[in-house]
Amino acid sequence: MLRLQGVNIIVGIIILFMGLHFAFAPEHHDVRTTGTTMLGGIAFLLMTISVILTTRLNVFESLFGGLDRMYQVHRVAGTSVALFALMHFIGVPKELPAGVDPSLNPLAPSAPLGMASLALLVIGLFIALNRKISYSRWRLPHKAMAGVYMLVIGHFMTAPAVFFERFSTSGIMLVIAAIIGVIALFYTMLGMNKRTATPFTIEAVNALERATEIVLKPKGDMITFNPGQFAFLEIQGKEWSEAHPFTISSAPDENRLRFTIKVLGDWTRKIREELKPGGDVIVRGPYGRFNTDKLNGKKQVWIAGGIGVTPFLSMVRAMKAGDERDIQFVYASRNREEALFLDELQSRTKNLGNISVNPLFSDQGAFARVDVAKEKLSAPLTEYEYFICGPKPMLDSLIRDLKKEGVPRAKIHTEAFEFR
Ligand SMILES: Cc1cc2nc3c(=O)[nH]c(=O)nc-3n(C[C@H](O)[C@H](O)[C@H](O)COP(=O)(O)OP(=O)(O)OC[C@H]3O[C@@H](n4cnc5c(N)ncnc54)[C@H](O)[C@@H]3O)c2cc1C
């Protein structure tokens, strides 16, 4: 779940900027100039926050509740940038105020830089939000937003003081933000945001129903992770292109990493059809905060939809006798064949006593539904913590129905298998 700590910090920064901007506005600025430069300043701060979040630093994962949540905030902040920038552009005075030295040219170079950045921002936003554009096509123009960030810095650093005073209190705040933003940008662009690269060899590639399990053997030290975390896989070899994120489905003490990969697009199909044992893989991670252990002792409902079973696979594989959680595990899939590792899950949980696996097959008319859970669970719905991983429509409808039943959002923990 998105943790509010990080969001509160963002809101606090924006409010601080607004307060400083109005309280210490240069005397020669009229209200319109102060108001519209404030909108531009907010746009820049949000853009800087978006840039900072791409550093993937551990501290931000803790503040926002995981890398996938950070990317959600990155997306919302990025979308808001374009809106604030547009309002700034529409409202900001286009002429020099009366009495100002006419040799001062308000149009060069600040205004063209501002207009170019706005146009590129809007195009970038269109590409970023257009789900029809494939991830690999989307990545390059998205990275080009780094250039737009530099244009925006150029825009306000060259603005005539009658419009923007760099050495006013709020101006200094923007300059500091720019310095931090540029450092963050280089950190990300130089690949320093990729957590330790751990080398593995592909030990086995196992074909499953519309999916593939790959088993990786560490070449040196094994990575340490918690069940529910994910990592980026970089398969070595020119034909494998960019890194893809997958949840680790093995237990932390296995000395092997297992990933269960559903065929969804070109890259995952290639895994199914062409990947062979013996090759090298770099694993970067772990990331994520989808962790059921932290609520030890609590009643829990786990709901997996299809390939959303992977974090729970790791959790069950890691579970030991004497576990204090009381877990109802609902495993929804299209049919029996696609319920990957169901036999293993059932046999592992049989003797544990604290977890029961409830498979549901939609070809038999059984779906993960809150009204059915309400009838079957022994305690009221509000007494459970919910951990849900599956397709977005399933997550959305379960969250909505649980909330209708009075379950607080803080008790519903979800893992989204997408960053965009
Ligand atoms: C945190 C997380 C955990 C995941 N765990 C699993 C798992 O355990 N098992 C599993 O089968 N799938 C998992 N996925 C989904 C998996 O990453 C995508 O299905 C896979 O990358 C699709 O690649 P493709 O090129 O075959 O498909 P495409 O059709 O190209 O992509 C399908 C969708 O996957 C996303 N995607 C594609 N490429 C990337 C990339 N390089 N980086 C980030 N997202 C990308 C995009 O949102 C895209 O819309 C996870 C995703 C995330 C974000």
Question: Distance between CA 249 and CA 267 in Å, rounded?
Answer: 19
Confidence of residue 136 (pLDDT cuts 50, 70, 90): confident
Measured in angstroms, how far is the CA atom of residue 62 from the centroid of ligand 1? 23
Tell me if 312 CB under 6 Å of ligand 1.
Answer: no
Tell me if 247 CB under 6 Å of ligand 1.
Answer: yes
Question: Distance between CA 391 and CA 281 in Å, rounded?
Answer: 27
Inter-CA distances, 297 with 207, 293, 318, 325, 410, Å:
37, 9, 16, 5, 17
pLDDT tens digits, 79-120 = 999 999 999 999 988 777 766 666 666 566 888 999 999 999
Which residue type, as a one-letter code, is found at position 146?
A: A
Contacts of 30 (CB under 8 A, 6+ apart): 97
Contacts of 409 (CB under 8 A, 6+ apart): 1, 399, 403
β-strand partners of 200: 218, 281
Single pTM value for the model = 0.86
Question: Distance between CA 337 and CA 362 in Å, rounded?
Answer: 12
Residue corresponding to tokens 């996938």: 68
Q: What is the number of the ligand 1 atom nearest to the C-alpha of 249?
A: 8
Give the residue whose CA is nearest to atom 30 of ligand 1: 265
Measured in angstroms, how far is the CA atom of residue 22 from the centroid of ligand 1? 45
Measured in angstroms, how far is the CA atom of residue 72 from the centroid of ligand 1? 15
Whether 50 and 185 have beta carbons less than 8 Å apart is answered as: no
Q: What per-residue confidence (pLDDT) applies to 102?
A: 63
pLDDT tens digits, 154-209 = 999 988 887 888 889 999 999 999 999 999 999 998 887 776 789 999 999 999 99
pLDDT over 70 at 138, yes or no? yes
Tell me if 287 CB under 6 Å of ligand 1.
Answer: no
Tell me if 22 CB under 6 Å of ligand 1.
Answer: no
Q: Are strands 299-305 and 385-389 parallel, antiparallel or unpaired?
A: parallel
Closest CA to 293 of 313, 323, 256, 255: 323
Whether 194 and 284 have beta carbons less than 8 Å apart is answered as: yes
Give the residue whose CA is nearest to atom 49 of ligand 1: 135
Peptide bond into 26 cis (omega under 30): no
Domains of the chain: 4-189 (1.20.120), 197-287 (2.40.30.10), 293-415 (3.40.50.80)
- Phi first, then psi: give them for residue 272, nearest 5 degrees: -65, -40
pLDDT tens digits, 198-250 = 999 999 999 999 999 999 999 999 999 999 999 999 999 988 878 899 999 99
Residue corresponding to tokens 């059932």: 346
Tell me if 234 CB under 6 Å of ligand 1.
Answer: no
Question: Distance between CA 187 and CA 161 in Å, rounded?
Answer: 31
β-strand partners of 302: 329, 387
Give the residue whose CA is nearest to atom 19 of ligand 1: 264
Closest CA to 412 of 389, 392, 393: 389
Which residue type, as a one-letter code, is found at position 134?
A: S
Q: What per-residue confidence (pLDDT) applies to 314?
A: 97
Q: What per-residue confidence (pLDDT) applies to 126?
A: 87
Question: Distance between CA 60 and CA 193 in Å, rounded?
Answer: 12
pLDDT tens digits, 353-403 = 899 999 999 999 888 899 888 888 989 999 999 999 999 899 999 999 999
Inter-CA distances, 113 with 95, 107, 119, 156, 375, Å:
17, 9, 10, 9, 61
Q: What per-residue confidence (pLDDT) applies to 420?
A: 66
Which token pair is 120?
Answer: 């590129």
To 10 degrees, the CA torsion angle through 264, 268, 274, 278?
A: -150
pLDDT tens digits, 261-311 = 999 988 999 999 999 999 999 999 899 989 888 776 689 999 999 999 999
Measured in angstroms, how far is the CA atom of residue 153 from the centroid of ligand 1? 33
Tell me if 138 CB under 6 Å of ligand 1.
Answer: no
Question: In which element (H, E) is residue 38 found?
Answer: helix 31-53
CA atoms within 13 A on the CB side of 292: 33
Output Rg (C-alpha) for the chain, integer angstroms. Answer: 25
Tell me if 268 CB under 6 Å of ligand 1.
Answer: yes
Q: What per-residue confidence (pLDDT) applies to 293?
A: 81
Q: Can you tell me whether residue 256 is helix, strand or coil?
A: coil
Peptide bond into 286 cis (omega under 30): yes
Q: What is the number of the ligand 1 atom nearest to the C-alpha of 248?
A: 8
Per-residue b/e over 225-244, b at no fewer than 16 CB within 10 Å? bbbbbbbbbbbeeeebeebb
Give the residue whose CA is nearest to atom 8 of ligand 1: 247
Q: What per-residue confidence (pLDDT) applies to 49?
A: 96
Q: What per-residue confidence (pLDDT) applies to 148?
A: 95
Tell me if 310 CB under 6 Å of ligand 1.
Answer: yes
Measured in angstroms, how far is the CA atom of residue 373 from the centroid of ligand 1? 29
Q: What per-residue confidence (pLDDT) applies to 356?
A: 93
Mean pLDDT for the stretch of residues 28-48: 93
Question: Distance between CA 32 and CA 281 in Å, rounded?
Answer: 56
- Average pLDDT of every residue of the chain: 90
Closest CA to 28 of 86, 74, 111, 96: 96
